[in-house]
Amino acid sequence: MSSYDEQRLARLIGALPPAPEAWVRAAQELPGARAGIDEIVTRAEADAAFRRRLIEDLEGALQAEGYERDPALVEELRVRFRSK
């Protein structure tokens, strides 16, 4: 069993400062973002015109359809639709 003096404990507690809140929140919201991506992909698979618009102008198409243009979501869709 390890032994801990106050100085060592203090150092260990201090070694893990909190990550920036915004980063943590963004990571916590991943499931919702994934659901949004899945919904767009499913819709694009079923709707050729929507898919074409996404490929031609991804961000414009998302805006026109009222989807939030979160950078991570846009990047993932860009990869999925190969529309660079």
Partner 1 sequence: MAQALSDTELVARCRSGDQQAWAELVERFSRYVYAISVQAYRLSEADAEDVFQEVFTRAYQHLDGLRDDSALRPWLGQLTRRLCIDHLRASAREKPVAEEELEPLEAQETIALLDEALSVHDALAGVPEHCREILDRFFARDESYRTIGEALDLPAGTIASRISRCLARLRDLLEGRTEAVPPSSPR
Contacting residues toward partner 1, per CB under 8 A: 1-6, 9-10, 12-20, 23-24, 26-28, 30-32, 34, 72
Residue number with CB closer to partner 1 (13 or 46):
13
Residue number with CB closer to partner 1 (16 or 46):
16
Spatial contact of 61 and 50, defined as CB atoms under 8 Å apart? yes
Residue number with CB closer to partner 1 (15 or 48):
15
Spatial contact of 73 and 34, defined as CB atoms under 8 Å apart? no
Minimum CB distance to partner 1, residue 1 (Å): 6
| CB burial string 34-52: b at 16+ within 10 A, e below | eebbeebbeebeeeeebbe
